A and B are shown apart, each in its own frame.
Chain A
Amino acid sequence: MAQPSSRRSGFSKKQQYSVFTGYLLASLGAILGLALLALSLWQPAALQPLRGGANDVSATIGEAPATARAGGNNTWDTIKAYWQAGSQNADLRREVEVARIRLAEAQAVEAENRRLKALLGLAEENVEPVVYSRLVGSSSTSARRFAYLGVGSAAGVEIGMPVHSERGVIGRVLETSRASSRVLLLTDSESVLPVRRASDQTVAFAEGRGDGLLRIRLINLGLNPLEIGDVFVTSGAGGYYRPGVAVAVLSEITSDGGIAQLIAEPSATNYVVVEPVHETLAVEASEVRDGEALSEAGLGEEPVNRPENASTGD
């Protein structure tokens, strides 16, 4: 349809001014947006309280779709299993999958134990989870891959804590507010996670590609020892994640490593566990600049029991 005539300014001085003011305000708005964008790219934490408050509300509402989603997944699984071989099939298959992951993890733990025994004979402590929660939302339109948790700092969630599902690593807490927190998923293009092959000590970085796959980049280049089907677990380097949690399965081999698929898909999980940062000291150490010494207070809290953990920051 044609424009209404009221918006043609014609000779009316008043109309001309109001059209001009409209353009002026809109341009100022665009410039304001640009400034805010620059600020939030430069200092991501600056505008966090604003978003955190809003997400507290939407995360609370998000509990309902999350419950429905979990229910929907289960129903669909049951229907699918009935169609194939009876209603147990889905449960059994899921169990076998988990068992397979556990087996790979057990291998990893075994290798880990052997290594530790060789070093000092340290016992692996049992990790007490901070809180259990659901993933209530995600950045489904954006090119970034974030998920939102229905719990926040009120439940003890802190920035940097790893988030696991029963299958493996989901991601890491990036921002917290009172009742919600934002999780950087492994598939985000800015996510880098130190991993190692479950069967031996081949260390690598798992980087998100932004399209749902992880790029495994070997640290020691040379002959590529990887094979399709290799399971990768966290190496514990950097101090955020505890070692030996399942991350990804290799699906394609490239010259410097490979392409891997996630083991724990956030959309398929019901509950996730927020765990404490594994090595607080290593994380603190990675934030200390070259040439500065670690403070004595920090060193006094906890003995450094894994010297190799402090080497790589993630």
Chain B
Amino acid sequence: MIDRLAPPSQRRAYGSGGINRVTSPWRANIVPYASILIGSLIPFWVMTDVMPLAPPIGFIIFLSWRLMRPGLFPLWIGVPLGAFDDLFSGQPFGSAILLWSVTMIGIELVETRFPWRGFWQDWFTAGLVILIYIFASMLTSGATITPHMLIATIPQLLLALLVYPLFARIVAWLDRFRLSRSRRIG
């Protein structure tokens, strides 16, 4: 019996690197999570005192991975990743755990109805999810919501919507790096 050359490094039926090339399982499994964790950390170091401005980078990267590679993440992954995001976002602990889990479930449910997708549809989906996410995290932040605050969110919202294609490209590049050949056989 022929053994498998490498353990399956992704939960999908195709794209394992091809004949004669093996992906590094460590790299294939770590890159998506590491990119999300780093994305969660970045807004911590951005200094904004006036209004929320930085897009939720961790969430956008998470969303990009989810939309590009359905089935890569287990459904419960929102809990650990959200918990890490909560440590640095300034939101009350638990807010991202809730919202990221709900995002995973929601996308999973909707996706089974629309199996075929394209870039524009992805952008639309991501935009909608980001919009809901930003307003929902405003609700869970414990702040008193004022009309001024809603107006002050508009720049952050627009930035987050416009920056999604960029992160989708970055994630696509990371995915290529993740699955690129690590050693040659034979």
Contacts and interface: CB of A to CB of B under 8 A. Distances in A.
Given A3-B112, A23-B75, A143 B101 contact: no
Interface in A152-177: none
A297 interface: no
A29 B43 contact: no
Contact of A33 (B71, B101, B112, B138): B101
B172 interface: no
A289 interface: no
Interface string B53-89: 1111100000000000011001110110010001111
B47 A209 contact: no
Contact of A140 (B43, B78, B144, B152): B43
Interface of A: 1-7, 22-23, 25-30, 32-41, 44, 47, 50-51, 54-55, 58, 61-62, 65-66, 69, 135-148, 182, 185, 187-190, 209-213, 262, 265-267
12 contacts: A22-B74, A25-B74, A26-B104, A26-B108, A29-B79, A32-B94, A33-B100, A41-B92, A137-B44, A188-B143, A189-B149, A265-B50
B125 interface: no
A50 B148 contact: no
B75 A33 contact: no
A30 B102 contact: yes
Given A141-B56, A141-B156, A189-B149, A50 B93 contact: yes
Contact of B71 (A4, A147, A265): A4
B146 interface: yes
A51 B12 contact: no
Enumerate the 8 nearest inter-chain pairs by beta-carbon distance, A residue then B residue, closest first: A139-B90, A36-B94, A33-B97, A33-B98, A212-B50, A37-B94, A211-B152, A22-B75
B26 interface: no
Contacts of B115: 2-3
B97 A6 contact: no
Nearest to B84: A54
Contact of B47 (A2, A40, A138): A138
B13 interface: yes
B44 A62 contact: yes
Interface in B120-173: 137-138, 140-146, 148-149, 151-153, 156
B144 A190 contact: yes
A138 B90 CA distance: 8
B153 A143 contact: yes
B184 interface: no
B74 A189 contact: no
Given A22-B75, A142-B89, A187-B50, A32 B97 contact: yes
Interface residues of B, number: 68
A290 B6 CA distance: 71
A140 B52 contact: yes
Contacts of A137: 44-47
Contacts of A58: 41, 44-45, 88
Contacts of A28: 76
B125 to A, nearest CB: 13
B185 to A, nearest CB: 25
B117 interface: yes
A1 B122 CA distance: 10
Given A36-B93, A54-B87, A25 B47 contact: no
B101 A65 contact: no
B23 interface: no
A267 B54 CA distance: 14
Nearest to B152: A211
B138 A143 contact: yes
A1 B51 contact: no
A138 B71 contact: no
Given A47-B93, A266-B47, A189 B78 contact: no
B70 A37 contact: no
B181 to A, nearest CB: 22
Contacts of A138: 44, 46-49, 90
B11 interface: yes
A6 B49 contact: no
Contacts of A30: 78, 97-98, 101-102, 105
B145 to A, nearest CB: 8
Contacts of A54: 87-88
